[in-house]
């Protein structure tokens, strides 16, 4: 692989979940443009072909995002290998189709460990590095389900909603340090999300057959037919990172755009319909009688 000698200061990316899907497509696109990547996966041997093709600019390490030791080791390796971390992409995770009643406490904790707390651990570990650099960009892979609730996906939506709120607040906390935060909200993309990366509840309750059962069937039927192109998504993410004014949220896919617009319209409808009740809960001004309940 020939490095672009005219490229000044290539960015260093730490990307989780690079074995397949968005993570793999993004790692390949970033390396192709001449940046450097610490690519991570629970089974780093799956990244061998990628590393062999870009031996000077790519390194693979094992990373289970539920392990604080793995996370610290990955960050240390990135610094030792490339000297800095410019972009952290929290991509690792998986789906879960189940109504809330259909999951156990153990499943709930395990799911959030991977899909929410793992991203938090990575951000908390990388943030001191970026603060010291005075720059950095955190890219969190959310979902349309990070803004829109879908029946049969209460846990998945819960984890993504949590990631959205954390990211939005974090952006305000670190803005003065030169660190940017972007949420990526894809719709249905042709990755293995609908297949290998999609889990279902072990307990199936008949009453939810038309909710979680129907949702699982839809995902299986759509596998391999999703409208979104992961290669184009990778280019869109790179464009956002390279922008001097990156978006807080970047929806990807026509379906994502439609669903999010519908959600925003619904929020506005409720606000308008209940406006009088909403404003009636304020204290009255000092010249009026105040009733303290």
Burial of 113 (0-12, 13-18, 19+ CB in 10 A): middle
- Give the whole-angstrom CA distance, residue 140 versus residue 259: 20
The structure tokens 């010291």 sit at: 132
Q: Residue 20: helix, strand or coil by DSSP? A: coil
- Give the whole-angstrom CA distance, residue 228 versus residue 225: 9
Q: Residue 27: helix, strand or coil by DSSP? A: helix
DSSP letter (8 states) at residue 210: I
Q: Residue 228: helix, strand or coil by DSSP? A: strand
Catalytic residues: 142, 156, 160
How many angstroms separate the first and last alpha carbons of the chain? 71
Q: In the numeric block, which tokens belong to residue 147? A: 């803004």
The structure tokens 């109504």 sit at: 99
Return the closest-CA partner of residue 78 out of 60, 92, 93: 60
- Exposure string for 139-151, b = 16+ CB within 10 A, e = fewer: bbbbbbbbbbeee
- Give the whole-angstrom CA distance, residue 116 versus residue 151: 20
């Amino acid at each position: 692989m020939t490095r672009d000698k005219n490229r000044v200061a290539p960015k260093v990316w730490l990307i989780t979940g690079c074995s397949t899907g968005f993570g793999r497509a993004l790692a390949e696109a970033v390396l192709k443009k001449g940046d450097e990547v610490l690519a991570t996966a629970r089974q780093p041997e799956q990244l061998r072909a990628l590393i062999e093709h870009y031996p000077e600019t790519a390194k693979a390490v094992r990373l289970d995002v539920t392990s604080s030791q793995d996370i610290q080791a990955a960050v240390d390796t990135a610094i030792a290998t490339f000297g800095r971390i410019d972009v952290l992409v929290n991509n690792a995770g998986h789906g879960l189709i189940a109504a809330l009643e259909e999951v156990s406490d153990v499943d709930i904790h395990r799911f959030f460990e991977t899909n929410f707390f793992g991203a938090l651990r990575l951000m908390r570990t990388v943030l001191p590095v970026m603060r010291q650099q005075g720059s950095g960009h955190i890219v969190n892979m959310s979902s349309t389900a990070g803004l829109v609730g879908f029946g049969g996906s209460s846990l998945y939506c819960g984890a993504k909603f949590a990631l959205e709120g954390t990211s939005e607040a974090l952006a305000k906390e670190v803005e003065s340090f030169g660190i940017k935060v972007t949420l990526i909200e894809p719709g249905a993309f042709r990755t293995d999300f609908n297949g290998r990366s999609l889990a279902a509840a072990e307990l199936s309750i008949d009453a939810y057959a038309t909710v979680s059962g129907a949702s699982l069937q839809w995902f299986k039927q759509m596998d391999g037919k999703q409208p979104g192109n992961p290669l184009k998504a990778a280019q869109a993410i790179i464009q956002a990172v390279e922008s001097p004014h990156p978006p807080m949220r970047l929806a990807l896919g026509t379906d994502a755009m439609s669903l999010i617009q519908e959600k925003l319209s619904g929020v506005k409808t409720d606000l308008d319909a209940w406006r009088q009740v909403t404003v009636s809960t304020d204290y009255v001004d000092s010249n009026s009688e105040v009733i303290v309940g």
